[in-house]
Structure 1
Amino acid sequence: MKEESLLEMKKMVRDLPWVLIGNFMLALAVAMFILPYNILSGGVAGIAVALQPVFHIEPTLMVNALVLGMFVLGTLFLGKSFAVKTVISSLVYPVYLTIITPFVPLLQLDPILASLYGGLLAGVGIGLVLRTGASTGGMDIPPLIVNKYTGIKISTLVLITDALTVGLGLFTYGLEAVLIGFISVWGTSFGIDKMLTLGGGNAKAVQIISEAHVQINAAIQSELDRGTTLSDATGGYTGAPRKVILVVVEKKEYPKLLELVNRIDENAFMITSDATDVHGEGFTLEFKV
């Protein structure tokens, strides 16, 4: 039990810098792009922008209040485990936003560019936090609560929540602002996805079927220094037994693999697919969180 607690403590210490950096990037995105340009993004910043013309509350103050309010709500419905993982984000994000807002330079940008880059920067920050198993709090919490009681996919609930958040601005800012806001939502989603797959490798998974599978398998291991997996298959038309070689190579190695296979058996049958999430020796990057 003590050993498990020690390992958990080490993980928390290792993850803490990434949680802090991720929240700083999220706060920077909000302070530099979302709030100055009144971008109807997803999350608490989007709600603050959408409701500001109605309640006339300073957006930064509303963001901070919503973050803390969502944290309390999440603690009540999701328990202590959630609170432990989210308390850091719920505390440091409002502090970051309050401190950096007065010092962030006002850039002269087209609102579309502000929406895009604000969304991308926010997505990278959120993705860094999610990689540690923590949450950024805020409007991530309602989807988590609904998921707990309904089983609906969190990704679907997040998309619905963000769409509703952006939709709030339809009555205060108009359709054009809503459409610009959806660019931010897309940018955030894209940034999160890229961060969550970072370190998995950008590779090709290749299946090779050939009568010369012994020679091809040996050449792959000796010339490309890549491991392979052999599996048994049966020809659907002939009923003859076949060997299928499975190998994963980096994109830059793929042309060399093609040349290697064609050199040995130009009639070899190859099936290639993109592998964006590859973990293990030879692929996982040094960057880990």
Structure 2
Amino acid sequence: ILLIVGYKFLEKKTIVYTMITIIATSIFLHVTEGWGLHLHEELIGMVFAGVLLGVGIGMILRVGGTTAGSAIIARILNKFLNWKVSHALLIVDLLVVLASYFIIGIEKLLFTIVMLYITTKVIDFVIEGFDAKKAVTVISNNKNEVADQINEQLDRGVTILNGRGNYTKESKEILYVVINKQELIKLKKLIKKIDDEAFVIVHDVRDVIGKGFLSA
């Protein structure tokens, strides 16, 4: 049923990749049927299960596919409500797990919730990678010098936005720049050196497409 729903609301490529995933999963489950690790610590198994699931699901989601089931719902929530796929998947899976409380019991339920959280974090890491981006807003009385130094030392473009302080009623020009996470410390030092009273806001950024970053 979910495949039919996905076929209606998602890209056809997504459904093709999903069918490949279903077939591959069935084959590998059959091949590895007798494989297993007997661990004395359930906590270790839970952590590594979350990591391995996150890596596998993350790679599938990164290329545009799904693992069927709740992942299709997560893709639909991402498309129409702009939810992050990993977070939507976590919420849907949590609803399923919570509904199974009377079957698996409270201890396994809590273990599963922790495993799903780990899976979500690993999925984010696989999809977004090491190279996280930061958007920085700078309000400074030395805005021109700050902008010039960002251009020269970081080789990043700066956008100037017009703003006005509500309390002072003064018009201000605000600097806006997107950088790699690794450049953040250098940027902070640069701003502090020029204007140690500058007001700086740092935002997490999911996707950046354009010159100096990813192509569309």
Normalised TM-score (structure 1): 0.60
Q: Match of 2:2, as an amino acid?
A: G
Report matched runs for 1:194-209 at 5 Å: 194-198=125-129, 201-209=131-139
Contact 1:77 1:145 in 2 (8 A): no
Aligned match of 1:92: 24
* Offset at residue 146 of structure 1 (A): 9.3
Aligned residue-pair number: 206
Aligned match of 1:124: 55
Report matched runs for 1:171-182 at 5 Å: 171=103, 173-182=104-113
Q: Match of 2:125, as an amino acid?
A: K
Aligned match of 1:252: 182
Contact 2:140 2:198 in 1 (8 A): yes
Aligned match of 2:116: 185
Report matched runs for 1:100-139 at 5 Å: 100-102=32-34, 104=35, 106-139=37-70
Normalised TM-score (structure 2): 0.77
Identity within the alignment, %? 28
- 2:161 aligned with 1:231: yes
Query: Taking structure 1 as reference, are residues 138 and 241 closer, same or farther at Cα in structure 2, changes over 3 Å only?
Result: closer
Q: State the distance in 1 between where 2:75 and 2:135 align.
A: 37
Identify the structure with bigger relative contact order (alpha carbons < 8 Å, sequence gap 6+): 1
Q: Match of 1:178, as an amino acid?
A: L
Structure with the larger helix share? 1
Indicate the SS of the match to 2:162.
strand
Q: State the distance in 2 between where 1:122 and 1:86 align.
A: 16
- 2:103 aligned with 1:168: no
Indicate the SS of the match to 2:179.
strand
Q: CA RMSD in A?
A: 3.3
List gaps (5 residues or longer) in structure 2: none
Query: Taking structure 1 as reference, are residues 195 and 231 closer, same or farther at Cα in structure 2, changes over 3 Å only?
Result: same
Query: Taking structure 1 as reference, are residues 166 and 92 closer, same or farther at Cα in structure 2, changes over 3 Å only?
Result: farther
Q: Match of 2:21, as an amino acid?
A: S
* Offset at residue 243 of structure 1 (A): 1.1
List gaps (5 residues or longer) in structure 1: 1-72
